[in-house]
Protein backbone atom coordinates (compact mmCIF):
# COMPACT_ATOMS: atom_id res chain seq x y z
CA UNK A 1 0.00 0.00 0.00
CA UNK A 2 1.45 3.36 -1.00
CA UNK A 3 1.94 6.15 1.54
CA UNK A 4 -0.73 8.25 -0.17
CA UNK A 5 -3.26 5.41 -0.17
CA UNK A 6 -2.48 4.68 3.45
CA UNK A 7 -3.15 8.29 4.38
CA UNK A 8 -6.49 8.18 2.54
CA UNK A 9 -7.44 5.09 4.52
CA UNK A 10 -6.52 6.73 7.82
CA UNK A 11 -8.49 9.84 6.93
CA UNK A 12 -11.56 7.81 5.96
CA UNK A 13 -11.45 5.60 9.05
CA UNK A 14 -10.92 8.35 11.60
CA UNK A 15 -8.40 8.87 14.42
CA UNK A 16 -6.94 5.79 16.09
CA UNK A 17 -8.65 3.22 13.88
CA UNK A 18 -5.78 2.32 11.53
CA UNK A 19 -2.60 0.96 13.11
CA UNK A 20 0.66 -0.18 11.57
CA UNK A 21 3.90 -1.91 12.41
CA UNK A 22 5.07 -5.18 13.91
CA UNK A 23 3.90 -4.36 17.44
CA UNK A 24 0.31 -3.76 16.34
CA UNK A 25 0.13 -6.93 14.24
CA UNK A 26 2.33 -9.42 16.10
CA UNK A 27 -0.57 -11.09 17.90
CA UNK A 28 -2.24 -12.01 14.61
CA UNK A 29 0.60 -14.17 13.25
CA UNK A 30 2.13 -17.35 14.65
CA UNK A 31 5.60 -16.16 13.66
CA UNK A 32 6.67 -12.55 12.97
CA UNK A 33 6.40 -12.01 9.18
CA UNK A 34 9.74 -11.28 7.47
CA UNK A 35 8.03 -8.55 5.47
CA UNK A 36 5.02 -6.56 6.62
CA UNK A 37 2.90 -4.69 4.07
CA UNK A 38 -0.33 -4.80 6.04
CA UNK A 39 -2.35 -2.28 8.04
CA UNK A 40 -4.62 -3.17 10.96
CA UNK A 41 -8.08 -1.63 11.29
CA UNK A 42 -9.95 -1.64 14.61
CA UNK A 43 -13.36 -0.06 13.88
CA UNK A 44 -15.58 0.82 16.83
CA UNK A 45 -18.93 0.89 15.05
CA UNK A 46 -20.60 0.02 11.75
CA UNK A 47 -20.07 3.52 10.34
CA UNK A 48 -16.29 3.28 10.73
CA UNK A 49 -16.39 -0.21 9.21
CA UNK A 50 -18.40 1.14 6.25
CA UNK A 51 -15.94 4.00 5.74
CA UNK A 52 -12.99 1.57 5.72
CA UNK A 53 -14.70 -0.73 3.21
CA UNK A 54 -15.70 2.16 0.96
CA UNK A 55 -12.18 3.63 0.92
CA UNK A 56 -10.62 0.22 0.28
CA UNK A 57 -13.08 -0.40 -2.56
CA UNK A 58 -12.31 2.95 -4.22
CA UNK A 59 -8.54 2.48 -3.90
CA UNK A 60 -8.29 -1.26 -4.72
CA UNK A 61 -7.00 -2.15 -1.25
CA UNK A 62 -7.43 -5.86 -0.37
CA UNK A 63 -9.55 -6.44 2.74
CA UNK A 64 -9.21 -9.35 5.17
CA UNK A 65 -11.37 -9.90 8.24
CA UNK A 66 -9.83 -11.45 11.31
CA UNK A 67 -11.85 -14.41 12.55
CA UNK A 68 -9.84 -16.56 14.96
CA UNK A 69 -6.40 -18.02 15.59
CA UNK A 70 -3.52 -16.90 13.40
CA UNK A 71 -3.58 -15.23 10.00
CA UNK A 72 -1.79 -16.76 7.01
CA UNK A 73 1.70 -15.35 6.43
CA UNK A 74 0.81 -14.45 2.83
CA UNK A 75 -1.63 -11.83 4.12
CA UNK A 76 1.25 -9.94 5.75
CA UNK A 77 2.73 -9.07 2.35
CA UNK A 78 -0.56 -8.35 0.58
CA UNK A 79 -0.53 -4.57 0.91
CA UNK A 80 -4.05 -4.75 2.27
CA UNK A 81 -5.84 -4.07 5.53
CA UNK A 82 -6.72 -6.61 8.22
CA UNK A 83 -10.01 -5.70 9.93
CA UNK A 84 -10.63 -6.87 13.50
CA UNK A 85 -14.31 -6.36 14.33
CA UNK A 86 -14.07 -7.06 18.05
CA UNK A 87 -14.33 -3.37 18.87
CA UNK A 88 -17.87 -3.24 17.44
CA UNK A 89 -19.34 -4.56 20.66
CA UNK A 90 -22.70 -3.03 21.58
CA UNK A 91 -25.58 -5.02 22.97
CA UNK A 92 -28.09 -3.02 20.95
CA UNK A 93 -31.22 -4.40 22.57
CA UNK A 94 -32.51 -7.35 24.58
CA UNK A 95 -36.05 -8.12 23.43
CA UNK A 96 -37.58 -10.05 26.33
CA UNK A 97 -41.02 -10.32 24.74
CA UNK A 98 -39.74 -12.02 21.58
CA UNK A 99 -36.68 -13.69 23.17
CA UNK A 100 -34.10 -12.03 20.92
CA UNK A 101 -30.80 -10.31 21.66
CA UNK A 102 -29.62 -7.78 19.06
CA UNK A 103 -25.83 -7.95 19.41
CA UNK A 104 -22.81 -6.70 17.49
CA UNK A 105 -19.72 -8.68 16.51
CA UNK A 106 -17.63 -7.99 19.61
CA UNK A 107 -20.28 -9.15 22.10
CA UNK A 108 -19.15 -12.41 23.69
CA UNK A 109 -21.20 -15.26 25.13
CA UNK A 110 -19.82 -14.36 28.56
CA UNK A 111 -20.62 -10.66 28.16
CA UNK A 112 -24.22 -11.26 27.10
CA UNK A 113 -24.66 -13.84 29.88
CA UNK A 114 -23.93 -11.14 32.47
CA UNK A 115 -26.78 -9.05 31.04
CA UNK A 116 -29.20 -11.96 30.70
CA UNK A 117 -28.71 -13.52 34.15
CA UNK A 118 -30.64 -10.80 36.06
CA UNK A 119 -33.50 -11.18 33.57
CA UNK A 120 -33.76 -14.95 34.02
CA UNK A 121 -32.71 -15.48 30.40
CA UNK A 122 -29.81 -17.22 28.65
CA UNK A 123 -28.18 -17.83 25.29
CA UNK A 124 -27.05 -21.21 24.00
CA UNK A 125 -23.26 -21.53 24.23
CA UNK A 126 -21.90 -24.15 21.77
CA UNK A 127 -19.59 -26.72 23.37
CA UNK A 128 -17.28 -26.41 20.36
CA UNK A 129 -17.64 -22.68 19.67
CA UNK A 130 -15.12 -21.37 17.15
CA UNK A 131 -14.94 -18.01 18.91
CA UNK A 132 -16.17 -16.24 22.05
CA UNK A 133 -17.95 -13.84 19.67
CA UNK A 134 -21.62 -14.77 19.30
CA UNK A 135 -21.80 -13.46 15.74
CA UNK A 136 -18.59 -15.18 14.69
CA UNK A 137 -19.53 -18.54 16.20
CA UNK A 138 -23.08 -18.61 14.84
CA UNK A 139 -22.06 -17.50 11.35
CA UNK A 140 -19.32 -20.17 11.31
CA UNK A 141 -21.75 -22.91 12.30
CA UNK A 142 -24.22 -21.83 9.61
CA UNK A 143 -21.57 -21.81 6.85
CA UNK A 144 -20.07 -25.13 7.90
CA UNK A 145 -23.43 -26.91 7.96
CA UNK A 146 -25.06 -25.07 5.07
CA UNK A 147 -24.67 -27.77 2.44
CA UNK A 148 -24.78 -30.93 4.51
CA UNK A 149 -27.45 -30.71 7.17
CA UNK A 150 -30.53 -29.00 8.48
CA UNK A 151 -29.07 -25.81 9.88
CA UNK A 152 -29.42 -25.38 13.65
CA UNK A 153 -30.13 -21.67 13.39
CA UNK A 154 -29.64 -19.67 16.57
CA UNK A 155 -30.15 -16.29 14.92
CA UNK A 156 -32.95 -14.70 12.96
CA UNK A 157 -31.53 -11.76 10.97
CA UNK A 158 -28.06 -10.31 10.56
CA UNK A 159 -26.46 -7.11 9.25
CA UNK A 160 -23.36 -6.85 7.06
CA UNK A 161 -21.21 -4.23 5.38
CA UNK A 162 -20.81 -4.98 1.67
CA UNK A 163 -17.54 -4.71 -0.22
CA UNK A 164 -18.26 -1.14 -1.35
CA UNK A 165 -19.25 0.08 2.12
CA UNK A 166 -23.02 -0.21 1.83
CA UNK A 167 -25.07 -1.62 4.70
CA UNK A 168 -26.99 -4.82 3.96
CA UNK A 169 -29.60 -6.36 6.25
CA UNK A 170 -31.18 -9.77 5.88
CA UNK A 171 -34.87 -10.58 5.91
CA UNK A 172 -37.42 -7.97 6.87
CA UNK A 173 -34.74 -5.90 8.57
CA UNK A 174 -34.38 -4.51 5.04
CA UNK A 175 -37.54 -2.50 5.73
CA UNK A 176 -36.37 -1.12 9.07
CA UNK A 177 -33.41 -1.88 11.36
CA UNK A 178 -35.89 -3.25 13.91
CA UNK A 179 -37.55 -5.44 11.30
CA UNK A 180 -40.64 -7.57 11.65
CA UNK A 181 -39.19 -11.03 11.11
CA UNK A 182 -39.21 -11.94 14.80
CA UNK A 183 -43.00 -11.88 14.73
CA UNK A 184 -43.31 -14.47 11.95
CA UNK A 185 -44.18 -17.98 13.04
CA UNK A 186 -43.00 -19.48 9.73
CA UNK A 187 -39.54 -17.81 10.01
CA UNK A 188 -40.20 -15.83 6.83
CA UNK A 189 -37.52 -14.68 4.36
CA UNK A 190 -34.94 -14.10 7.06
CA UNK A 191 -31.96 -16.11 5.87
CA UNK A 192 -29.86 -15.41 2.83
CA UNK A 193 -27.82 -17.88 0.82
CA UNK A 194 -25.71 -14.88 -0.18
CA UNK A 195 -23.40 -15.49 2.77
CA UNK A 196 -23.42 -19.28 2.98
CA UNK A 197 -19.78 -20.29 2.39
CA UNK A 198 -19.10 -16.96 0.69
CA UNK A 199 -18.36 -14.56 3.54
CA UNK A 200 -15.75 -11.91 2.69
CA UNK A 201 -16.60 -12.21 -1.01
CA UNK A 202 -19.78 -10.19 -0.62
CA UNK A 203 -19.41 -8.52 2.75
CA UNK A 204 -18.69 -8.60 6.46
CA UNK A 205 -21.43 -9.63 8.94
CA UNK A 206 -21.11 -7.38 12.00
CA UNK A 207 -24.38 -7.79 13.96
CA UNK A 208 -27.25 -10.22 14.39
CA UNK A 209 -30.38 -10.97 16.35
CA UNK A 210 -29.69 -14.14 18.31
CA UNK A 211 -32.30 -16.30 19.96
CA UNK A 212 -32.32 -16.26 23.75
CA UNK A 213 -34.17 -18.61 26.09
CA UNK A 214 -35.97 -18.55 29.41
CA UNK A 215 -34.60 -20.36 32.43
CA UNK A 216 -37.08 -23.06 33.30
CA UNK A 217 -38.02 -24.65 36.62
CA UNK A 218 -36.25 -27.99 36.37
CA UNK A 219 -32.69 -28.73 35.27
CA UNK A 220 -31.41 -32.29 34.81
CA UNK A 221 -28.38 -33.86 33.14
CA UNK A 222 -27.97 -37.58 32.41
CA UNK A 223 -25.08 -39.53 30.89
CA UNK A 224 -24.96 -42.87 29.10
CA UNK A 225 -21.94 -45.05 28.38
CA UNK A 226 -21.31 -46.72 25.01
CA UNK A 227 -18.64 -49.06 23.73
CA UNK A 228 -18.33 -47.57 20.24
CA UNK A 229 -18.94 -44.37 18.29
CA UNK A 230 -21.65 -45.85 16.08
CA UNK A 231 -23.93 -46.68 19.00
CA UNK A 232 -23.29 -43.35 20.72
CA UNK A 233 -24.05 -41.33 17.58
CA UNK A 234 -27.17 -43.40 16.93
CA UNK A 235 -28.52 -42.61 20.40
CA UNK A 236 -27.67 -38.91 20.09
CA UNK A 237 -29.38 -38.66 16.72
CA UNK A 238 -32.44 -40.53 17.92
CA UNK A 239 -32.98 -38.28 20.93
CA UNK A 240 -32.28 -35.10 18.97
CA UNK A 241 -34.57 -35.99 16.08
CA UNK A 242 -37.39 -36.72 18.51
CA UNK A 243 -36.84 -33.31 20.13
CA UNK A 244 -36.53 -34.89 23.56
CA UNK A 245 -33.47 -32.96 24.76
CA UNK A 246 -32.44 -29.35 25.25
CA UNK A 247 -28.74 -30.20 24.93
CA UNK A 248 -26.90 -33.24 23.62
CA UNK A 249 -23.17 -34.00 23.59
CA UNK A 250 -21.56 -37.17 22.23
CA UNK A 251 -17.85 -37.55 22.93
CA UNK A 252 -15.10 -40.12 23.35
CA UNK A 253 -13.32 -40.48 26.68
CA UNK A 254 -10.41 -38.20 25.74
CA UNK A 255 -12.54 -35.30 24.51
CA UNK A 256 -14.98 -35.53 27.41
CA UNK A 257 -12.18 -35.69 29.97
CA UNK A 258 -10.77 -32.42 28.59
CA UNK A 259 -14.20 -30.75 28.71
CA UNK A 260 -14.69 -31.74 32.35
CA UNK A 261 -11.19 -30.94 33.63
CA UNK A 262 -9.30 -27.82 34.63
CA UNK A 263 -5.80 -29.17 33.97
CA UNK A 264 -3.98 -31.70 31.77
CA UNK A 265 -3.24 -33.88 34.79
CA UNK A 266 -6.89 -33.95 35.83
CA UNK A 267 -7.93 -34.80 32.25
CA UNK A 268 -5.47 -37.72 32.09
CA UNK A 269 -6.76 -39.08 35.37
CA UNK A 270 -10.41 -38.74 34.41
CA UNK A 271 -9.91 -40.32 30.97
CA UNK A 272 -9.01 -43.60 32.66
CA UNK A 273 -12.34 -43.65 34.49
CA UNK A 274 -14.62 -42.85 31.55
CA UNK A 275 -16.22 -45.32 29.11
CA UNK A 276 -14.99 -45.37 25.49
CA UNK A 277 -17.90 -43.13 24.42
CA UNK A 278 -20.46 -41.09 26.34
CA UNK A 279 -23.68 -39.35 25.39
CA UNK A 280 -24.83 -36.59 27.73
CA UNK A 281 -28.40 -35.27 27.64
CA UNK A 282 -29.49 -31.98 29.19
CA UNK A 283 -33.12 -31.20 30.05
CA UNK A 284 -34.43 -27.79 31.03
CA UNK A 285 -38.17 -27.18 31.29
CA UNK A 286 -41.24 -27.78 33.45
CA UNK A 287 -40.59 -30.60 35.99
CA UNK A 288 -43.27 -32.88 34.52
CA UNK A 289 -41.89 -32.50 30.99
CA UNK A 290 -38.31 -33.07 32.17
CA UNK A 291 -39.44 -36.32 33.80
CA UNK A 292 -41.05 -37.48 30.54
CA UNK A 293 -37.98 -36.55 28.46
CA UNK A 294 -35.67 -38.31 30.89
CA UNK A 295 -37.70 -41.52 30.69
CA UNK A 296 -37.99 -41.43 26.90
CA UNK A 297 -34.29 -40.72 26.27
CA UNK A 298 -33.34 -43.46 28.74
CA UNK A 299 -35.34 -45.93 26.65
CA UNK A 300 -33.68 -44.65 23.46
CA UNK A 301 -30.16 -44.88 24.88
CA UNK A 302 -30.70 -48.37 26.29
CA UNK A 303 -32.14 -49.55 22.96
CA UNK A 304 -28.88 -48.45 21.29
CA UNK A 305 -26.74 -50.48 23.68
CA UNK A 306 -26.00 -47.78 26.24
CA UNK A 307 -25.94 -48.02 30.01
CA UNK A 308 -26.73 -45.19 32.37
CA UNK A 309 -23.70 -43.50 33.91
CA UNK A 310 -23.28 -42.69 37.58
CA UNK A 311 -24.63 -39.48 39.06
CA UNK A 312 -21.14 -38.11 39.80
CA UNK A 313 -20.32 -37.86 36.07
105 and 161 Cβ atoms separated by less than 8 Å: no
Residue 142 confidence (pLDDT) above 90: no
Using alpha carbons, list the distances in angstroms from residue 48 to 9, 83, 213. 11, 11, 32
Q: Reply yes or no on whether the pLDDT at 186 is more than 50.
A: no
pLDDT at 5: 80
Q: What is the pLDDT of residue 113?
A: 95
Q: Which tops the pLDDT comparison, 196 or 239?
A: 239
* Mean per-residue pLDDT, 280-300: 91
- The CATH class that applies to domain 218-308 reads alpha beta
- Considering only the C-alpha atoms of the chain, give the largest distance between any 2 of them, rounded to a whole number of Å: 70
Average pLDDT, the chain: 84
At 228, the pLDDT band (50, 70, 90 cuts) reads very high
> By percentage, how much of the chain surpasses pLDDT 70?
85
pLDDT of residue 87: 95
Looking at per-residue pLDDT, the higher value among 153 and 55 belongs to: 55
Q: Which helix (H) or strand (E) holds 74?
A: helix 73-76
What was the pLDDT predicted at 85?
95
d(C-alpha 141, C-alpha 126), whole Å: 10
Confidence band of 26 (pLDDT split at 50, 70, 90) = confident
User: Higher model confidence: residue 3 or residue 196?
Assistant: 3
Q: Each residue of 154-168: pLDDT tens digit? A: 777 788 898 889 888
Q: In the chain, which residues fall in CATH 3.30.70.3450?
A: 218-308
Q: Is the pLDDT of residue 188 over 50?
A: no
Residue 283: strand pairing partners: 220
Instruction: Say whether pTM exceeds 0.85.
Output: no
Q: Which residues of 243-269 are buried (b: 16+ CB within 10 A; e: fewer)?
A: ebbbebbbbbbebbbeeeeeeeeebee
Gyration radius from the chain CA atoms: 23
pLDDT tens-place string over residues 31-63:
888 778 889 999 999 999 999 999 999 998 899
Mean pLDDT of 3-26: 87
| CATH 3.30.465.10 domain range(s) in the chain | 89-214
For 3-86, CATH gives: 3.30.43.10
Q: Which CATH number fits domain 89-214: 3.20.20.100, 3.30.465.10, 3.30.365.10, 3.30.70.1060?
A: 3.30.465.10
Question: Residues 68-97: what's their mean pLDDT?
Answer: 90
Count the neighbouring beta carbons within 10 Å of the beta carbon of residue 97. Answer: 7
H or E element in which residue 196 lies: none
Are the CB atoms for 208 and 138 separated by under 8 Å?
yes
Domain with CATH 3.30.43.10 in the chain: 3-86
Q: Which residue spans within the chain are E strands per DSSP?
A: 18-19, 39-41, 63-65, 81-83, 91-95, 100-104, 121-122, 155-162, 167-169, 203-211, 213-214, 218-226, 247-252, 277-285, 307-308
Q: What is the mean pLDDT of residues 96-112?
A: 93
The pLDDT of residue 77: 83
Predicted confidence at residue 194, as pLDDT, reads 53
Name the pLDDT band for 181 (thresholds 50, 70, 90). Answer: very low
Confidence of residue 171 (pLDDT cuts 50, 70, 90): low
Amino acid sequence: MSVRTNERLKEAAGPGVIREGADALKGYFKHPPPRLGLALALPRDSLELADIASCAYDNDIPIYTYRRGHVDQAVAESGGVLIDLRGIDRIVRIDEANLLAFVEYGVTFEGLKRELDPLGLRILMPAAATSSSIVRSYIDRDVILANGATRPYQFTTFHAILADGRLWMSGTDQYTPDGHSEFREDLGPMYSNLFHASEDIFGMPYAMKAWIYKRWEERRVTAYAFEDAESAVKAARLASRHDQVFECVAADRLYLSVLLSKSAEEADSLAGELPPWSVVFGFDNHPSLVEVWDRQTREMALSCGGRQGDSEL
